[in-house]
Amino acid sequence: MRLSIIIPVYNVEKYVAECLDSVLNQGLDVNNHEIIVINDGSPDGSLEIVESYAEKHQQIKVISKENGGLSSARNCGIEHAVGKYIYFLDSDDFLLPNCLNTIVDTCENYDLEVLTFWSERFISLPSFDAATLIDQKNQASTKAPQLSEIVSGEDYVANLPYRNEAWWYVINRKFLDGLGIEFEEGRFLEDAAFTLGVFLKAKKMAHLHLDAHRYRETPGSILTNREPSHYNKLIRDMQNAALAFDPILKNLENKTSNPICIARIKAKQQSLVFFSMMRMLKSTMSIEEVKLRMNEMTAIEAFPLDSLLGKDYNGLTYQVMVRLFKTEPRFYFFFRIANPIFKLKNKILK
């Protein structure tokens, strides 16, 4: 079997049919791929929807488990996968038509361990029409997508498109099994350390210039949910992800690895700190907890943000905020001013 597509499902009854339809619209051989849907204890109607699809399509396998979060569901999918390659797709996202055959063909033709491709974010509004977007894609240029140079993981991270999420690349399953790497369970942003760990172990990976994936941004998602306990957990998990980068960076520095690779990972680490700080201003965290967490970031040299600006983060907002947050005392000053304002605003909006 060529491909295992792992789709965790939790409270996505609005979107999961669109996700599954997009996978079924890939022109894949029914007998040569599997769609593993992990029902992560979803309390809404998601399970009924995916089971109705499984009754009609033999390649869809539904596995139900107690709720354990996205990481737990992905790890469960890895355990059950038998395809030569693995792809993780979130159940509120979708694929553009006829992409996966091209992606898997490229992996096989060049014996790649990891292949990345393009993904775009979109904001899910009532007026959004996936069918129109897909039709436009079908009418687009049919030129064969270009493949980047085939490089090691370190050289890839140094020079090619690099982001934290798991849905913009496919992985050779035997290669992944040999790494012993899993998604950390119980955390948000679990993709960050997983993706970096996989990439840095690869000997042969590349980027395919193929527009293949759409990431849906919805109100109440992991990154947009403003409920205080969720919001504070997101901040803590952002900084936990930054902590997970520390031993990886130290190992690369000890090996005198590619300095451009190290600098880019450092920027990714500091971006996690930067976005956590931006959220701290709007959070219900106490100044005592903020200081404790910022001291942790300083201890691993993820703060000050002296490595953030560069290839991936160079806009005016980044430049201004990095200067404003130049030292811990300066950040605490802005926190003491901004935090009460945001708290009052949230109270009024309620």
Q: What b/e readout covers 204-237, taking b as 16+ CB neighbours within 10 angstroms?
A: bbbbbebebbbbbebeeeeeebeeeeebbbbbeb
Q: What is the pLDDT of residue 350?
A: 59
Q: What is the pLDDT of residue 125?
A: 55
pLDDT below 70 — which residues of the chain? 124-142, 346-350
Cα gap 297→285, rounded to integer Å: 16
Close Cβ partners of 114 (under 8 Å, ≥ 6 residues apart)? 153, 156, 169, 170, 171, 172, 175, 198, 199, 202, 205
Q: Decide: 23 and 35 in contact? Cβ < 8 Å.
A: yes
Q: What whole-number distance in Å separates Cα of residue 292 and Cα of residue 286?
A: 10
Q: Which tokens sit at 305?
A: 């943000």
What 3-state DSSP class applies to 44?
A: coil
Sheet holding 60-65, edge to edge: 60-65, 33-40, 3-9, 85-88, 169-172, 114-123, 205-217, 94-95
CB 312 within 8 A of CB 302: no
DSSP structure class, residue 72: H
Is domain 3-217 in CATH 3.40.50.720, yes or no? no
C-alpha 171/C-alpha 151 separation (Å) is 15
pTM, two decimal places: 0.92
- Each residue of 115-146: pLDDT tens digit? 999 999 988 655 445 555 555 444 444 578 99
Q: Write down the domain spans for the chain.
A: 3-217, 228-349
139-148 pLDDT, tens per residue?
A: 444 578 999 9
Question: Taking the CB of residue 317, how many other CB atoms lie within 10 A of it?
Answer: 9
Closest CA to 1 of 47, 70, 61, 49: 61
Structure tokens at 42: 């979803």
Please give the pLDDT value at position 221: 77
CA separation for the pair 281, 113 (Å, rounded): 41
Measured between alpha carbons, how far is residue 226 from residues 104, 109, 232, 236, 343 in Å?
A: 38, 45, 9, 14, 12
- Give the list of residues 6+ apart from residue 283 with CB closer than 8 angstroms, or none: 228, 231, 232, 235, 339, 342
- Other beta carbons within 10 angstroms of residue 76's beta carbon come to 18
Q: Which residues fall within 8 angstroms of residue 341, CB to CB, at 6 or more apart?
A: none
